[in-house]
Amino acid sequence: MKIIDLSKTIEYNKQDPWFMRIKIKHKTHKQSKNLIRFFLGLPAKLFPAGFEGWADDKILSMGVHAATHIDAPWHYAPTVNGAPAKTIDEIPLEWCYGNGVVLNMTHKADFEEITVTDIRTDLEKSGATITPGTIVLIYTGRDKYIGTRDYIMRGTGMSAEATHWLIDQGVKVMGIDQWGFDLPLKYMAQTAKKNNKDNYFWQAHLVGQQKEYCHMEQLVNLGALPASGFKVSVFPLKIKGASAAPARVVAIFE
């Protein structure tokens, strides 16, 4: 068995937007040892030989969308086609494991959206097939900007029509290796204002108002995968009532 990690490392990055910066406090063995003595009331002379305490860590601040994560339908809207939208703890686990297909969209320029024609053309070229339950990974190559100011500012993005099309093929989970699933956020806002278009901003996300699906953002290493022939595991943390959750996303070759 071979496993390829498709997840970012969870760590502080000063280039992230201020509202998405991750803060983690690490506690050394020595610091923990002193706390153990105080909490347990156990004299140091009774600690086992060679015992130096245990390392410990605390996540001080981390939004559920800050690292590699999967968005629940609740993130897009409170309802899906009139029914209550699922939060992340309500997502069926069956959605989170399945055959993987990579769509190569590295030819798409920044701010150029991905269309149904792009997807069909790539599937014809690779020979990969999408069936109900397939987990679709959209390879843009923008993970190379992780850790830089460009990461949030650059990228292609899914169009509403392409998102609808994948869902109509039976896809419940799809994901992308850039900061967001849509075109870059600030670009969308500026373009919507410039052209006075009320159906442009966040168009792929808002497909979730009509059709139930989840998508992953901030994947990595999709360039290490073939077009098909592997499984994808994307189990999120079970956070009550949350709109998303960090996930350790991996590709599995049996």
CA dihedral 190→192→195→199, nearest 10 degrees, is: 170
Determine the Cα–Cα distance for residues 89 and 87; give it in Å rounded to an integer.
6
Q: Kindly tell me if the per-residue pLDDT of 140 is higher than 80.
A: yes
The CB density around residue 134, as the number of other CB atoms within 10 Å, is 22
- pTM of the full predicted structure? 0.93
Determine the Cα–Cα distance for residues 101 and 230; give it in Å rounded to an integer.
8
Summary mean pLDDT of the chain = 94
Helical H segments across 99-184, by residue range = 116-126, 150-153, 160-168
Q: Kindly tell me if the per-residue pLDDT of 94 is higher than 90.
A: yes
Taking the domains of the chain in order of start, what are their residue ranges? 5-9+64-253, 23-61
When pLDDT is averaged across residues 127-150 and rounded to a whole number, the result is: 97
Query: 3-state DSSP call for residue 41?
Result: coil
Determine the Cα–Cα distance for residues 72 and 21; give it in Å rounded to an integer.
21
Determine the Cα–Cα distance for residues 124 and 104; give it in Å rounded to an integer.
12
When pLDDT is averaged across residues 85-103 and rounded to a whole number, the result is: 98
CA dihedral 223→229→115→97, nearest 10 degrees, is: -100
- What is 5-9+64-253's CATH number, 3.50.30.50, 3.40.190.10, 3.40.30.10, 3.30.200.20? 3.50.30.50
Identify the band that residue 177 occupies on the pLDDT scale cut at 50, 70 and 90. Answer: very high
Query: 3-state DSSP call for residue 81?
Result: coil
Identify the band that residue 35 occupies on the pLDDT scale cut at 50, 70 and 90. Answer: confident
Determine the Cα–Cα distance for residues 241 and 227; give it in Å rounded to an integer.
34
Give percent above pLDDT 70 in the chain: 99
Identify the band that residue 30 occupies on the pLDDT scale cut at 50, 70 and 90. Answer: confident
